[in-house]
Amino acid sequence: MRTFRALLWHDVLMGIRSSGGAALSAAFFALIVILTPLGLGPDTTALKTVAPGLFWIAALLATLLGLERVIQPDAEDGTLDLLRLSPLPLELVALAKIFAHWITSGLIISLLAPILAPMLSLSVSAIPTLALSLLIGTLGLSSIGTAAAALGASVQRGGIVLAILVLPLNIPFLIFGASAVSGAQAGTATSQPLMFLTASSLLALVVGPIAAAAALRLNED
Amino acid sequence: MQAYANPQRFVSLARTLTPWTFGVAIALAMTGLYLGLIVAPPDYQQGDAQRIMYVHVPAAWMSMFVYGSMAIASAVAFIWKHPLADVAAKASAPIGAVFTALALVTGMLWGQPMWGTWWVWDARLTSVLILFFLYLGYIVLWSAIEEPTRAARAARILALVGALNIPIIKFSVDWWNTLHQTASVFRVSGPTMPAAMLTPLLIMGLAYTVLYVALLLVRMRMEVAQRRLRTIRLSSEALPA
């Protein structure tokens, strides 16, 4: 457990301090949100209808951004070889990396989204659901993303490759997350999409570390 | 299966089978198209436009069937380390992607006269489109990693994670679609298909399947040859001139 905590702490610090880290994905998220009114026009009713989906699309893209630094630097400087030798099972190594990525991207995005929500004139009543759904869903996004990052660890400059691998697999999160938020805005029940979202995230948290560990194990030779 | 773990033995078997499978596929397709396009009666509602079904529906079947066989081949490679399973999975992906694209394009061609639009965000169309992108991701991963054994290991995991995810994606898309009711006209319970239409459809389905086998054999032979070429090139580079 101590190793797990140390690894988690190390990765979070690396995520915050490295260029292309937490600040970048938060800034990217905010930029997508800010660009939307510039593209669609300042009509508040139009912005209100697209806001739930847009926040979620922005979250999908922004969590994608930090994935390259989850495994790749460790693979390049040899940290990964040491991690393989450590007593911590690779599944838990992967889980630590998932949490670290989530803290430096999903968590920050979830805290940022309520502040940005008025800019797209999202109903105030939908803001708690927005934050909650992002908080839950980004955990699944980080999980699937980390598995893909482990697969692509041997790809040079694999950013675009990662995007193509990850985005189709993340569609369920987009669907459930966005409809929870638009449900909250319309005043209908949000528990069903939120529960599906939670289920998808939990499943991703099981499959993600296993797949990531398998990928890390298979790439050693 | 174990006997054909030897690529050489597999290649010679595949070489003899290839013309036969192509022949059978062509014969079946000719029969199916003749029965479907000429013998079968036009649909009482859709007229002749309905006949695109004979090329569309089997392509949609194959889009799922090929992904399934790709996932099974990947599982076989993962568990038993069968040397040709990765080759089969890799060779399947572009064929499956083309079948999926064919299903989408023929569906759009049919949708224009029937629904009055090229595209609707219907649950089935959407999930087939996503399936197409899953194929693309798999192909991209293969081409992104240079060394074949390494690429094969990564691709296996991707195919299996994708296969696990497909039911969830399918479910979420269905759920999303019932939430946003689309405007287009669907006949929920169409008339059950008469035998004159069902027979050619099944024959076409069989033709597509045999065609897949034929193309798979060709592509697998090509892949084996490419790997051998790579080994030869690497070993000749390793030798001092």
pLDDT in tens, B10-31: 888 888 888 999 999 999 999 9
The C-alpha atoms of residue A166 and residue A145 are separated, in whole angstroms, by: 6
Closest C-alpha among A141, A73, A129, A74 to residue A105: A141
Tell me which chain B residues have a C-beta less than 8 angstroms from the C-beta of A217: none
**Residue B87 · residue B157 · CB < 8 Å:** no
**What pTM was computed for the model?**
0.85
Tokens 């045999």 locate to: B210
The reply to whether residue A215 touches residue B157, judged by beta carbons under 8 angstroms, is yes
The C-alpha atoms of residue B190 and residue B195 are separated, in whole angstroms, by: 15
ipTM of the complex: 0.83
Confidence check: pLDDT of A154 > 80: no
The reply to whether residue A169 touches residue B169, judged by beta carbons under 8 angstroms, is yes
The C-alpha atoms of residue B73 and residue B225 are separated, in whole angstroms, by: 19
Six token digits for residue B75: 């599982």
Q: What is the pLDDT of residues B212-229, one digit of tens each?
A: 999 999 999 999 998 889
Six token digits for residue A203: 């499943």
Q: What is the sign of the dihedral through the CA atoms of B173, B175, B180 and B181?
A: positive
pLDDT at A73: 81
Dihedral in degrees, nearest 10, Cα atoms A207, A210, A216, A220: -140
The reply to whether residue A171 touches residue B140, judged by beta carbons under 8 angstroms, is no
The Cβ of residue A89 has, within 10 Å, a number of other Cβ atoms equal to 12
Confidence check: pLDDT of B185 > 50: no
Give the residue from chain B lying closest to A199, CA to CA.
B168
Q: What is the mean pLDDT of chain A?
A: 87
The C-alpha atoms of residue A177 and residue A196 are separated, in whole angstroms, by: 9
The reply to whether residue B145 touches residue A155, judged by beta carbons under 8 angstroms, is yes
Burial of residue A98 (number of CB atoms within 10 Å: 0-12, 13-18, 19+): buried
Q: Work out the percent of chain A whose per-residue pLDDT is above 90.
A: 44
DSSP state of A89: -
The C-alpha atoms of residue A112 and residue B168 are separated, in whole angstroms, by: 29
The C-alpha atoms of residue B229 and residue A188 are separated, in whole angstroms, by: 62
Phi, psi values for residue B43, rounded to 5°: -65, 140
The contacts of residue A62 (CB under 8 Å, 6+ apart) are: A25, A26, A28, A29, A32, A105, A109
The C-alpha atoms of residue B87 and residue B67 are separated, in whole angstroms, by: 14
Tell me which chain A residues have a C-beta less than 8 angstroms from the C-beta of B153: 215, 218-219
Q: What is the mean pLDDT of chain B?
A: 84
Looking at residues B152-161, what average pLDDT do you find? 89
pLDDT at B180: 61
The reply to whether residue B140 touches residue A161, judged by beta carbons under 8 angstroms, is yes
pLDDT at B98: 95
pLDDT at A21: 74
Tell me which chain A residues have a C-beta less than 8 angstroms from the C-beta of B140: 161, 164-165
The C-alpha atoms of residue B97 and residue B70 are separated, in whole angstroms, by: 12
Confidence check: pLDDT of B188 > 70: no
pLDDT at A6: 86
Give the residue from chain A lying closest to B161, CA to CA.
A211
Confidence check: pLDDT of A157 > 80: no
Residue of higher predicted confidence among A114 and A160? A114
Confidence check: pLDDT of A13 > 90: no
Q: Work out the percent of chain B whose per-residue pLDDT is above 70.
A: 90
pLDDT at B194: 73
The reply to whether residue B173 touches residue A218, judged by beta carbons under 8 angstroms, is no
The C-alpha atoms of residue B54 and residue A69 are separated, in whole angstroms, by: 48
Confidence check: pLDDT of B109 > 70: yes
Distances (CA, A) of B178 to B173, B175, B183, B220: 9, 5, 12, 41
**A142: distance to nearest CA of chain B, Å?**
15
Give the highest mean pLDDT range of A92-101, B34-43, B103-112: A92-101
Looking at residues A106-110, what average pLDDT do you find? 92
Q: What is the pLDDT of residues A19-76, one digit of tens each?
A: 667 888 889 999 999 998 899 888 888 888 899 999 999 999 999 888 888 888 888 8
The Cβ of residue A210 has, within 10 Å, a number of other Cβ atoms equal to 16
The contacts of residue B44 (CB under 8 Å, 6+ apart) are: none
φ/ψ region of A85 (left if φ > 0, alpha if ψ in -120 to 50, else beta) reads alpha
The Cβ of residue A58 has, within 10 Å, a number of other Cβ atoms equal to 23
Confidence check: pLDDT of B40 > 60: yes
Confidence check: pLDDT of B189 > 60: no
Burial of residue B240 (number of CB atoms within 10 Å: 0-12, 13-18, 19+): exposed
Confidence check: pLDDT of A158 > 80: no
Give the residue from chain B lying closest to A169, CA to CA.
B165
| DSSP line for A11-33 | HHHHHHHSTTSHHHHHHHHHHHH
Looking at residues B51-69, what average pLDDT do you find? 89
Q: Which residue type, as a one-letter code, is found at position B26? A: I
Chain B, window 76-105: residues with a beta carbon less than 8 angstroms from a chain A beta carbon: none
Give the residue from chain B lying closest to A159, CA to CA.
B144
Q: Is B43 helix (H, G, I), strand (E, B) or coil?
A: strand
Of A169, A172, A215, the CB nearest to B154: A215
pLDDT at B187: 45
The C-alpha atoms of residue A172 and residue A207 are separated, in whole angstroms, by: 15
